[in-house]
Chains A and B, each alone.
Chain A
Amino acid sequence: MFGHIIRIAAVVALAGLSASAQTATQSKTRAHVQTLASEQLEGRMAGSAGERLAAEYIARELTRIGAKPLPGLTDFFHSFDFTAGTKDAGSTITVTRAGGTPRRFATTDHVQALSFSDSAEVTGPVVFAGYGLVVPESQNFGYDSYVGLDVKDKVVVVLRYFPEDADQKTRAILARYSDLRYKAMAARQRGAKAMLVIAGPRSPNAGATIPMTFDTALAGSGIVAASISGEAGAAIFDGVADNKLEDVQKSMDTGNPHASGFAIPELTVAVKSAVQRETQTGRNVVAYLPASSSMTGVERPWVALGAHYDHLGRGTNGNSLAAKEEAGRIHYGADDNASGTAAVLAVAETLAQQPRGRHVLVGFWSAEEIGLIGSNAFVNKPPVPADQLAAYLNFDMVGRMVDNKLTVQATGTSPVWNRIIEQANVAAGFDLVLQPDPYQPTDVASFNGVSVPALSFFTSTHTDYHRPGDTADKINYDDLDRVVGFAAAIVKRVGDTAEAPQFTKVDQQTDTAGRAGVRVFTGTIPDYATNVKGLLLGGVIGGGPAEIAGLQKGDVIIEIAGQTIANIYDYTYALELLKVGEPVKIVYMRGSARQETTLTPGARK
């Protein structure tokens, strides 16, 4: 009730704000951005009151523009359930040696369920399975931690990460299969009842349990999985003759595929995992502008535009990049993604005043920042079937154009894109950067996944990315309005052609089996838009390892720890293999000068 009153008051205030802002300027986008990135919306975290206000603002604007609810819907809201957070609700383990006294561990510093764990209680004998890594046979690289081990109905204990001392090539392969979900899947497939993870004494975060990570799955992964402390691990290994955990880990760390695990005799472990998932309802805002002419003979009669409108709230969900002194402040998200939301509204407004050869669907996605959840919910149960969509245009961070550069992503999804982009850009006049890859960390990936030819617009990242400094006053409105004109021209060219663009499946560049994830913190902000050989830094985070190493905006990293870096993929990959606290040589170009420095990665928890 209290929340409700506040909400109504804020809506009234917002309505006033947008009206005055619109009379103050000719920009098609400024008022939208200023409203969406205002204090009152509190960073629009998915499921929050601020996000609901944003949704209502968007719905009001859609009404003003003359958009209609999608067929089958009575209003502009498309709701879906998602997991907004998980917490450990009292997991325990009890280690019992034959004839000994049970030792019970109950606090989260000793035992903590993994966020994807089932909630259940299981008991069984224990098998240590090394790093718990299984490399698929298709990789032609024999590595299977389970060879010779019978883990059926047992509790499997595995080490976190991957062998610490293996050579670069081996680490590179193993790292891909060291994701905890992937390890849990391997254990489950072999019949294990539970998987316990220990960060070995020779690894980063040694002996620490793994904080509950943000995980948006609605259900568990079919196995009990928890991390345990070094002390709990010692209780398990205590009875193993000559097998201190550190020595055991050392024998595994060369990456020798023949170093095998072993059953731990005369020991049972009872694991109780308790994961509490907080389910919330998210709301996409969706609408359409009906075609203005007959649709006879028009193939795939819809064309869609979209942008996520959620952001990080106060940055408490783990993907904030706020510096220490900014932590907890509102992350306004003016560029990310009030700019894209404003662009979609403005394109819709433009198209509403023109003849339309196809229905124009507009979608404003919630819960993008926590894993493209809103757009996925939409494409999984679409009010308009995906095979009726001729194309999807996505806008994510389009408000910070520099040097006339506009990045267009996912151009490989249709053979017609380059021609249409060329034609539309003759009038728009951008210095385009084209990226064929649709596997981008934005909602375009959801539509590519259901075979819709798609494009995504992006004006590159900046030092305010995912920080409280991403504010409306820093948006480049003139160029944002130009992006609107460009996109409207593309929609028009797609809309006015009876044949729909043909979909091309682009091969994914990275392995999808699961990855170790970057476990180090370097404080670098890559510039994704500029084509250079190497990794161009769009900035460095104040006080981070990169800044301490003397790196700065504009530097191009070309080598890390002996690995040459040609692009962002190489870079991410190289980062996965770094060790916390272990200095590495970085070679970079500053202007035309080749320079070297040493960077010491910090830990990313």
Chain B
Amino acid sequence: MNTRSGLILLFAIFVNGLSALIAQPQATPTPERDLLSRVRRLTVEGRRAGEGYWSPDGKRLVFQSEREPGNPWYQIYAVDLTTGDTVRISPGIGKTTCAFFRPGTDQILFASTHHDPQSKKLQDEELALRASGKERRYAWDYDPEMDIYAVSEKTKAIERLTNARGYDAEASYSSDGQWIAFSSMRDAYNRTLSDAERKQLDVDPSFFGEIYIMRADGTGQRRLTQVNGYDGGPFFSPDAKRVIWRRFDEQGLIADVWTMNLDGSDQRQLTDFKSMSWAPYIHPSGEYLLFASNKLGFENFEVFMVDVAGTKQPVRVTYSDGFDGLPVPSPDGKQLAWTSSRGGGREGQIFLAQWNHEAARTALAAAPPR
């Protein structure tokens, strides 16, 4: 179905339409406080923000946000967590998504369509559509022009890392900064499709999404997955020996978290909620991972955690209406950044909290086996 983040758009709309969703008031104490303390809202400006990823020193966060008057889509920003100052990282034109700091360098990668000569025209059309009071029910379109770039913060030099037709995005670096894992839908464009496949591409291009790996300079691109349905959102394990990602079924309704070796071997399924479990990220301790799932209600995403081998029943982390997802622990493992609609309204924004690692270990130790 969609990017690491696009899910938010879709479900935020459902959430708003359902009056049945009046769940717990947040003033009541919840078990959330055992794991998350001093919850704070990080992003305020703009319609929405999400996908916050930490710099290796934990002092900055790079994220995507719709916040500039001339562009209706996400651009990439980095906020300094000491001063509060925010700078735009991406060119400002077209659509972008999914940024990541490259360890050991001044580079930040993200996916973008800015090279597409149509970009400005598409932006203006979208703005006109929104000004008329309409809104696409589902804005994420897996633009085949989406490619992966890395920009140097010092020199501003932009390096294009992929150029295959088809959506290339959802990329992240290994901890040594030498490798990139990403998702691509190029398989739908680089060969002759059957009639059934062409129909499938019209309905849902994400069906063709597969996990790839490449060197940080874009060379050595290699496909790791071969299964129908949207494979996306890959991240390296802290020791850079495995990739963790989420795999949707062919219908795009059920997703689960998987891991595999860097050559695509030893693929193992870690979750089995029979719901959408996605956006996994491994805690820097390497002991467990956090992910989002709508197990508790189609439109109610919560953050869960599970041991890294997936032997336990996942433990619920967040307790709030609407959307909580895209959890990313800080490099020191003591904070959590995630995207949530708990601030009110229909759109997600980024929240931070103190993360209680010891309480997480205790809760996982006590969790029953899967």
Contact = CB atoms under 8 A, between A and B. Distances in A.
Contact of B81 (A404, A426, A533): A426
B328 interface: no
A396 interface: no
Nearest to A566: B19
Contact of B44 (A432, A536, A553, A566): A432
Nearest to A417: B44
A6 interface: no
A404 B85 contact: no
A418 B46 contact: yes
B33 to A, nearest CB: 8
Nearest to B39: A431
Q: Which of B21, B44, B46, B80 has the most CB of A within 10 A?
A: B44
A589 B22 contact: yes
Contacts of A130: none
Contact of B321 (A421, A532, A555): A532
B104 interface: no
Nearest to B344: A531
A434 B42 CA distance: 13
Interface string B149-185: 0000000000000000000000000000000000000
A404 B40 contact: yes
Q: Which of A424, A429, A434, A527 has the most CB of B within 10 A?
A: A429
Contacts of B196: none
B41 interface: yes
Nearest to A402: B27
Contact of B27 (A426, A533, A538, A589): A538
B131 interface: no
Contact of B23 (A418, A553, A592): A592
Q: Which of A423, A527, A533 has the most CB of B within 10 A?
A: A533
B14 to A, nearest CB: 14
A464 B225 CA distance: 61
B239 interface: no
Interface in B40-90: 40-46, 67, 79-86
A564 B19 contact: yes
A148 interface: no
B38 interface: yes
A554 interface: yes
B117 interface: no
A261 to B, nearest CB: 42
Given A433-B343, A531-B343, A532-B321, A426 B42 contact: yes
B45 A430 contact: no
Contact of B84 (A427, A530, A536): A427
Given A533-B19, A533-B22, A589-B23, A426 B79 contact: yes
Interface string A533-565: 110101000000000000001111010000010
Nearest to B342: A531
B105 interface: no
Q: Which of B38, B40, B82, B86 has the most CB of A within 10 A?
A: B40
B45 A422 contact: yes
B344 A403 contact: no
A427 B40 CA distance: 10
B133 interface: no
B39 A403 contact: yes
A345 to B, nearest CB: 25
Contacts of B192: none
Contact of A589 (B24, B39, B41): B24
Given A404-B38, A431-B40, A424 B27 contact: no
Contacts of B44: 418-419, 421-422, 425, 432, 434
B27 A422 contact: no
A532 B84 contact: no
B194 interface: no
B362 interface: no
B25 interface: yes
A432 B239 CA distance: 36
Contact of A434 (B21, B67, B343): B343
B26 interface: yes
Contact of B28 (A419, A564, A591): A591
A427 B42 CA distance: 10
Q: Which of B22, B82, B351 has the most CB of A within 10 A?
A: B22
A319 B343 CA distance: 31
Contacts of B80: 426
A429 B82 CA distance: 11
B100 to A, nearest CB: 20
B228 to A, nearest CB: 37
Contact of A432 (B22, B27, B343): B343
B19 A423 contact: no
Nearest to B24: A591
Given A431-B40, A591-B28, A425 B46 contact: no
A534 B41 contact: no
Contacts of B342: 531
A432 B41 contact: yes
Nearest to B46: A418
Contacts of B25: 527, 530, 532, 536, 554-556, 589
Contacts of A434: 44, 343-344
Contacts of B40: 404, 425, 429-432
Contact of A425 (B38, B41, B67, B345): B41
A434 B84 CA distance: 18
A558 B19 CA distance: 9
B54 to A, nearest CB: 14
Contacts of A536: 25, 27
A558 B21 CA distance: 11
Interface string A427-449: 10111111000000000000000
Contact of A423 (B38, B84, B345, B352): B84
Interface in A228-262: none
B345 to A, nearest CB: 8
A564 B344 CA distance: 19
A404 B37 CA distance: 9
Given A427-B84, A533-B22, A538-B27, A419 B39 contact: no
A591 B22 CA distance: 10
B86 A422 contact: yes
B19 A429 contact: no
Contacts of A422: 42-45, 84, 86
Contact of B82 (A419, A427, A433): A427
A429 B38 contact: yes
Contacts of B19: 533, 564, 566
A433 B27 contact: no
Interface in B315-346: 321, 342-345
Nearest to A534: B22
B46 A530 contact: no
Contacts of B351: 431
Contacts of A592: 23-24
B22 A530 contact: no
Contacts of B352: 429
Interface string B80-120: 11111110000000000000000000000000000000000
Contacts of A533: 19, 21-22, 321
Contact of B45 (A419, A556, A564): A419
Nearest to A423: B84
B23 A426 contact: no
A439 B53 CA distance: 38
Nearest to A421: B44
Nearest to A427: B84
For the complex of A and B, list the 3 residue pairs with the smallest distance between their C-beta atoms, beginning with the closest: A531-B344, A426-B84, A422-B44
12 contacts: A403-B27, A403-B39, A418-B44, A419-B44, A425-B44, A427-B82, A430-B41, A530-B26, A558-B22, A589-B22, A589-B24, A591-B28
Interface of B: 19, 21-28, 38-46, 67, 79-86, 321, 342-345, 351-352
Given A425-B84, A426-B83, 17 more contacts: A403-B26, A403-B27, A403-B39, A421-B44, A426-B84, A431-B39, A433-B343, A530-B26, A533-B22, A533-B321, A556-B22, A556-B25, A564-B19, A589-B22, A589-B23, A589-B25, A591-B24
